[in-house]
Every structure is written in C-alpha cells, then in structure tokens.
Amino acid sequence: MNSRYLRLMCVLVAIAWHALALSQEYLRIDSGRLNSTMETMKSFGSNSEGGSARVAFSAANAEALDYLSDLMSLAGMTTEIDFAGNLIGTLEGQNTALPALITGSHIDTVPNGGHYDGIVGVMAAIEVARSLSDNNRELQHALEVIVWSNEEGGKTGSRSFNGSIQPRELDLPSLGERTLGEGMAYLGGNPQRLADNRRDPGSMAAYVELHVEQGAVLDDGNIEIGVVEGIVGIRRWNVSVEGFANHAGTTPMAQRQDALVAAAELIIAIRSHITSIAGSQVGTVGRITAEPGAPNVIPGRVLFSLEIRDLSMDKIGSLFAGIEGRAAQIAATTGTTIAFDQFYESPAAPTDPTLQSLVAAAADELGLSHRTMPSGAGHDAQSLAPLGPIAMIFIPSADGISHAPGEYSSPAEIAAGANLLLHTLLRMDEMLQ
C-alpha cells in the first residue's frame, strides 16, 4: 500500500468519524410530525369543553392505543399489550446482553382533563424511536417505549412492574365504567396473570420520562426544562379535635371548649410551621367537618385532614413532629384534646443524581435553559424506581394549569423536550454499558 493511498484512507476515515459524531450531535426529532401526532391524539375522547375525557379503560383509550401501536410499527418497533394493559413497543438494540432502556408515560386522562398530561411523554417517546429508525441510529440497548395504563386511577400499569398491586384492587372501580380487572382485560391484558408482569430489580438499564410540569415554576421563570430531583413523598393524617358541645347562648366565652376554634388555630399554625423552614415542602388541610354542626351549638368535635409532601421522608417526619408540638400547646390553651392518625403514605422517589447531571448536560448541549426541581405530583416513574435508576424531564405548563381543558404546552416546548429526551437516551446508551 503506497503512502498516498494510506493518507487518502486516513482522510476518509476521519471524515466518516466526523460525520458520525456530527450526525449524533445534530440528530433531531421531526417536530412537525410530533405536532401532527399530538393533534391526532386529541380526537380520541375529546369533550365539548375542548378537553379530554379519555379515562382509563374507555373505548377512546382502546382506540388511541390502536393508533399508537400503528405509529410504533412505523418506527420499526415490535408491539404487545402486556397483562396490565400497557402497550409496549420495542426497538431492538445491538447488544442483546444489555438490559433495556425504558421511556414512556400515559395517555389516560382525568374525566375532564387536558391534552398534554402524560400524552407529551408518550408521543415524544414514539417520535424519538421513529427518528432513531429514520436515521438508522441503532442503540446498544433495546429501547422500550411503554404507554402505561391507568395512571390517573392509581398508576396500576406501572405498578404492575414492581408487583405492588393487591389482588383486591382488581375489583375496585376505575375512573370509568369498568373495574380495574375488567379494564385490563378490555385493553387486551389478563388480570389473572398480573403477577407475571412483575420485573426484577436490575432488569432495566434506566427509565426516563418526559412530562409536563403541571405547575407554573418553569412558565413563570421562562425556563425551558425542569430536571426533576425526585417525586415527593406524601403522608396524610386524620386529625381529631375533641372539645365539649354546649349551648351557644348560655355558655360564657371563657368557659368554652370549642373544638372548631382549636382546629382553626391549628390550621393556621400548620401553615406557619410549614413555611417557617426553607425548602419546597408543602402542607395542606383539605377537608374539615364540625360536629354537631348546628348554628346554636358550640362544636364539640372537629375532624380534618393533614397532608405533607416533600422529597425527604425524614423532613416530612420532622415537620410533623413540629406540628404535633404546636397542637399540644393549642390543646392546652383551648381545653381540647387533639389526636393524629396517619392513614396514607407514598414514599418519595428520588431520581438518580448521575442521570440528573446527564439530562442537564444534554440540555446544555441543545442550548436549553434548565433548573432542578422536585415533582409535587405522582408519576409512573416512581413505580419504576425499585427496578433501576430513574430520571424525569419537565417542560413548561402554561400558567401551571393541569387536569383541566386549559392545559397547554406549545409545539416548540414539546419539540425541545422531545429532543432532550432523544439526547438523554443517546447519552444513557453510551454511559450505561
């Protein structure tokens, strides 16, 4: 081989290498096509208020899944409906020894919901798969795009992967006309074999979900991307305040044991305690009843709910301890007894710190502004946390409106999120080998 020929070969290899690097860096989703599939999705279950009534296990839900299955086939994916009624599209990877990368979200809505919550993550994931196929860009890992069933009715599709669905739940009503078990079967699943849907820890390389923020932090701050630190944990308590019911006309003010006055003081104290410490924790009293509930009787008993959310369960615990302390003081000064009974807990699901950095680096590469933030709402991603590292990407929700027909994210915001999802997956594919 003469030296001229060798030099030519070197130049050609360098050009090919450069082109490969460039094609990866400049690989983009087809934003026009993504906008068009987002528009088509609106037709499945749209209601007279301009919103979506595509509740889980409805006919509109099933029709939309047929459409998505066709789109997945166009992306070169094999498709199946699993036992829980999840639609799974798989793009084979080059290295079959590696566990799959998973992305996805949900397309079921609340009864009068919007066209973006969940849908953005699904349509973007399918568009990413189509873009990879169109550009002959084969990943090392298999890529699974999963349309989780029944997110709004208890995340039962994604929870089937971690095995946390109790058999009695199958007989409970869903948001539509079918029970959970009937709904799974209606979509093509098999509730009798739900246990076989469970996947083992370590069986996935990583999970990443793109979702609308459902709050106004990004929109208010003019920030394009939220890098999610985790999905907050939740604890809820029933709070009872026992006083003494007595005649509202004959009992002097100084002699009253008014349970409602004590409850009112405590509710204000809860707000001041939650806001007295730096952080993004939230506390809410959302329900209250007073007994006996007559205009001429001093309330003898008040029941209300308390909910605290934060990324740290320890912080929730210490906030609650502080509230208990305030309650003891209020009980002493008002002559009442105050008791707390915890009835619900959803553990916090932190996202993987390395994947957070990876998402942020991919956003920088794409020139997208970003900030880290917690997710105050629950998502399918939290169900996947026991199986491997998870990540979430938020895009802005106009005015923070969600679970309502006014929900909106612009085509440009959705395209930016989809391109970030694409480049996050490309980076994950390289890093997690």
Contact positions vs Zn ion (CB under 5 A): 117-118
For residue 229 the two structure tokens come to: 């630190």
Nearer to Zn ion, 118 or 376 (CB): 118
C-beta closer to Zn ion: residue 300 or 376: 376
First to last CA, the chain: 37
Q: In angstroms, rounded to a whole number, what is the distance separating the alpha carbons of residues 382 and 7? A: 54
Q: Minimum distance between the CB of residue 338 and Zn ion, rounded to whole angstroms?
A: 36
Question: What's the sign of the alpha-carbon dihedral 371, 373, 378, 382?
Answer: positive
At its nearest, how many Å lie between Zn ion and the CB of residue 155? 9
Provide, rounded to whole angstroms, the least separation between the CB of residue 431 and Zn ion.
Answer: 27
CB of 399 to Zn ion, least distance (A): 17
Of 117 and 213, which has the nearer Cβ to Zn ion? Answer: 117
- Strand (E) or helix (H) holding 297: strand 297-298
Q: Which is nearer to Zn ion, 110 or 184 (CB)?
A: 110
Token pair 């090392």 in the structure block, residue: 140
Strands (E), 37-99: 78-81, 87-91
Question: Of 391, 393, 349, whose CA–CA distance to 368 is shortest?
Answer: 393
Amino acid, single-letter form, for residue 187: L
Alpha helices (H) along 351-410: 353-365, 380-384
The residue with its CB nearest to Zn ion is 118
Taking the complex as a whole, the smallest distance from the CB of residue 151 to Zn ion amounts, in Å, to 6
Nearest CB to Zn ion, comparing residues 118 and 233: 118
Q: How far apart are CA 322 and CA 270, in angstroms?
A: 9
Whether the Cβ atoms of residue 64 and residue 54 lie closer than 8 Å to each other: yes
- Which one, of 336, 212, 322, lies nearest residue 263 by Cα? 336
Q: Which is nearer to Zn ion, 117 or 429 (CB)?
A: 117
How far does CA 199 lie from the centroid of its chain?
20
Q: Are strands 87-91 and 143-148 parallel, antiparallel or unpaired?
A: antiparallel
Q: How far is the CB of 53 from Zn ion (least distance, A)?
A: 16
Contact 128, 425 (CB under 8 A): yes
Instruction: Pick between residue 61 and residue 257 the one whose CB is nearest to Zn ion.
Output: 61
Q: Name which of 231 and 416 has its Cβ closer to Zn ion.
A: 231
Q: Which residues contact 19 (CB under 8 A, 6 or more apart)?
A: none
* Closest alpha carbon to 92 in 103, 81, 80, 76: 76
Residue 105 or 281 with smaller CB distance to Zn ion: 105
- CB burial of 257-273 (b: ≥16 within 10 Å; e: otherwise) equals bbbbbbbbbbbebbeeb
User: Across the strands, what pairs with 344?
Assistant: 236
Which ranges constitute the DSSP H helices of 163-249? 180-186, 217-221
Q: How far is the CB of 368 from Zn ion (least distance, A)?
A: 21
Q: How far is the CB of 327 from Zn ion (least distance, A)?
A: 35
What is the C-alpha to C-alpha distance for residues 178 and 171, in angstroms, rounded to an integer? 9
Specify which residues 242 forms β-bridges with. 301, 337
Question: At its nearest, how many Å lie between Zn ion and the CB of residue 119?
Answer: 9
Closer to Zn ion by CB, 153 or 299: give it.
153
| Of residues 132 and 392, the one with the C-beta less far from Zn ion | 392
Q: How far is the CB of 121 from Zn ion (least distance, A)?
A: 8
Q: Are 330 and 338 in contact, with CB atoms under 8 Å apart?
A: yes
- Smallest separation (angstroms) from Zn ion to the CB of 353: 23
